[in-house]
């Protein structure tokens, strides 16, 4: 009788071993990104319109990109939905929220109140000298930037001052609310800033606000900031067909 042949499983190829190790590494809890980290990345992409309004966010594609489970992607998308950056549409899934015109104007009405409040609190909370360098910058160097047409650098200074004021205001809830607004309108804000005549108008308004802050005139700083945002809203209304 012919002895039974011993059956053995084929040795996995080096390629398949490597693939499994790579997959395991991606799924490792120590290396995989958390839902909060994924939320942070997607939040920036949406705010900067690297992902366009109305675009669909596919769980499968995102899970593959970040090397995590679809459940973790769903958690991140849920956080984005709570911030109003994503909406769930039946039969389409998660889609980047698209702002309509009325929403944009409503947001600017809210910005006027909140950023005015931030300017007042910041003036009250820190020494007057805190704003001297910023005032000097908006008085001279930024005027020269605008005259040379270097608007990207001007916008960077504007956003840096905005963050500094919000931090100095020392109100976490206010900071969170302004953060949410900024996420939704970051690209729009940049478009308004570079409208015809707006850079110089905005520079003068910020210089006036900072001058008031240097004097400790908190209510005056609030009023100037609110008037500045009202002016920006009027520009948005005038040029809405070009920037929305």
Between CA 113 and CA 225 the distance in angstroms is: 9
Helix, strand, or coil (residue 86): strand
**Residues 6+ positions from 186 with CB-CB distance below 8 Å:** 47, 48
pLDDT at 227: 97
Q: What is the pTM of this model?
A: 0.72
Cβ of 8: how many Cβ atoms within 10 Å? 6
- Rounded Cα–Cα distance for residues 182 and 107 (Å): 10
- What does the pLDDT look like over 178-221, one tens digit per residue? 998 888 888 788 778 778 889 999 999 999 999 999 999 999 99
Average pLDDT score over residue span 54-72? 92
pLDDT band at 244 (very low <50, low <70, confident <90, very high): low
The mean pLDDT value of the chain amounts to 85
95-109 confidence digits (pLDDT tens): 998 877 788 899 999
- Percent of the chain as helix, strand, coil, to the nearest 5: 70, 5, 25
Cα separation of 53 and 86, whole Å? Answer: 9
pLDDT tens digits for 15-38? Answer: 444 444 444 444 444 346 899 999
User: Can you give the pLDDT at residue 13?
Assistant: 47
Residues of the chain with pLDDT > 70: what percent?
86
Instruction: Give the model confidence (pLDDT) of 146-160 as tens digits.
Output: 999 888 899 899 999
């Amino acid at each position: 009788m012919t002895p039974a042949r011993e059956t053995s499983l084929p040795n996995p190829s080096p390629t398949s071993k490597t693939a499994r190790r790579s997959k395991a590494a991606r799924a490792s809890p120590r290396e995989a990104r958390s839902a909060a980290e994924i939320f942070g990345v997607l939040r920036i992409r949406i705010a900067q319109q690297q992902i366009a309004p109305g675009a669909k966010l596919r769980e499968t594609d995102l899970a593959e990109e970040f090397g995590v489970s679809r459940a973790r992607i769903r958690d991140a998308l849920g956080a984005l939905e709570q911030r109003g950056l994503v909406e769930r549409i039946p039969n389409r899934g998660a889609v980047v929220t698209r702002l309509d015109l009325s929403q944009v104007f409503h947001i600017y009405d809210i910005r006027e109140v909140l950023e005015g409040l931030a300017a007042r609190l910041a003036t009250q909370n820190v020494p007057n000298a805190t704003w001297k360098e910023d005032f000097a910058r908006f008085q001279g160097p930024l005027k020269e930037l605008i005259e040379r047409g270097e608007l990207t650098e001007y916008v960077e200074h504007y956003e840096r001052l905005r963050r500094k004021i919000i931090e100095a205001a020392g109100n976490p809830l206010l900071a969170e609310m302004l953060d949410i607004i900024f996420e939704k309108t970051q690209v729009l804000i940049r478009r308004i800033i570079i409208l015809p005549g707006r850079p110089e108008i905005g520079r003068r308004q910020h210089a006036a606000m900072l001058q008031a802050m240097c004097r400790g005139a908190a209510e005056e700083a609030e009023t100037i900031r609110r008037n500045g945002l009202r002016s920006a809203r009027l520009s948005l209304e005038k040029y809405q067909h070009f920037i929305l």
